[in-house]
Amino acid sequence: MVAVNARDRPRSLTTVFKIERFIALVFAGLEIIIHAGAIWGWPSYVYVLKQDGFFGDLCHTNNDPAGYSQNSSLEKSIVTVIDIDLPSPSGVPQGVGCYDQDAMIQLVFTVSMGTNLVCSCWLSNIIDRFGIRFARIFIFVGCLVSYILFAVATPETAYMLFPAMTILTSCGTLLLTVNLQVGNLFGRGKATVMSWLNGCLSASVIVFYLVKVAHESGIPARYSFIFLAGSTLLMLINTIMMPKKRIPWPLPEGYRLLTSRKESLPSNNAEVSQSPESKP
């Protein structure tokens, strides 16, 4: 008889397993949309930071309330064509730019992205060394801490944005890496699922946009971040459902997502059917 490769062997999926993997996929997508790619919505959050006066004290340098250079007539002419009747919480008229404030807000984004690139390798090593469950608990704690820092940050403690955004960005990258293993549950559709999860990462821009919309409606940003901190409980629910170490590929026969099972591939010897001995 011819040996059958484990990758090519057809499997009959039970209804329970189909439901389990669908729930795992939905939870993974929601986690990525809410927490993994918040950094991409940073431009929307910049509006909130300026309205609340974060780094607004930098706009009072050189006796220039707008923070512009005293030697640039072009900059001052630009200010004159902007409506400056409405005061902002920072004491700087709305619509007036401030180079020092803009530079510091941009620096938060730059530091977060740069630190994420540096930390990606050793953070992903957490998954290889300790498994899915430990990595997810680490992500849960990191996201919770970052949202709390966002919620308690004030213009007087604006530098808390640096650790808050750095932690959230790094944990978001790790969260995407962990959830990509869900693709192993879908066999030949693995690449499709992984592409869909990467698309969810791009959709994360909506999170800070909703924070901005809520802020325009009169809801302080700290309430939005308290809500996001509460949404991290979704990770704990999914952590219970996910296996402790990894989702194997290819999946062993009878693999279940919610049950504890030895995650080892069937041996090659078990796949070979010996032909009956010929009679003399």
Identify whether the C-beta of residue 170 lies closer than 8 Å to the C-beta of residue 142.
Answer: yes
CA distance 42 to 117: 17
Query: Which residues lie closer than 8 Å to 54 by C-beta, 6 or more apart?
Result: 90, 101, 105, 153, 155, 158, 161
Q: What is the pLDDT of residue 12?
A: 53
Identify whether the C-beta of residue 208 lies closer than 8 Å to the C-beta of residue 41.
Answer: yes
Residue 251's closest CA among 3, 15, 69, 17?
17
Q: What is the pLDDT of residue 97?
A: 55
pLDDT tens for the chain, 280 residues long, are 334 444 444 455 678 788 888 888 999 999 999 999 888 899 999 999 999 999 888 886 544 444 444 444 444 433 333 333 334 444 444 444 588 889 999 999 999 988 888 877 788 888 888 988 999 999 999 999 999 999 999 999 999 999 999 999 999 999 999 999 998 888 888 899 999 999 999 899 999 999 999 999 999 999 999 999 999 988 888 888 888 888 888 888 777 776 544 444 444 444 434 444 444 4
208 φ/ψ sector (left φ>0, alpha ψ -120 to 50, else beta): alpha
- Residue 89 identity (one-letter amino acid): P
Residue 88's closest CA among 60, 56, 42, 45?
56
pTM: 0.74
State the Rg of the chain over Cα.
26
Number of other CB atoms surrounding residue 8 within 10 Å: 7
Residue 182's closest CA among 254, 138, 242?
242
Q: What is the pLDDT of residue 13?
A: 63
All domains in the chain, ordered by first residue: 15-259 (1.20.1250.20)
Query: Is 83 exposed, middle or buried, given 0-12, 13-18 or 19+ CB atoms closer than 10 A?
Result: exposed
The label of the residue with tokens 């957490």 reads 126
CA distance 254 to 233: 30
Q: What is the pLDDT of residue 18?
A: 83
Identify whether the C-beta of residue 140 lies closer than 8 Å to the C-beta of residue 236.
Answer: yes
Largest distance between two CA atoms of the chain: 107
For residue 53, report the phi and psi dihedrals to the nearest 5 degrees: 85, 20
Q: What is the pLDDT of residue 140?
A: 93
Identify whether the C-beta of residue 144 lies closer than 8 Å to the C-beta of residue 226.
Answer: no
CA-to-CA separations, 108 to 81, 83, 210, 278, in angstroms, rounded: 29, 28, 20, 76
Number of other CB atoms surrounding residue 115 within 10 Å: 17
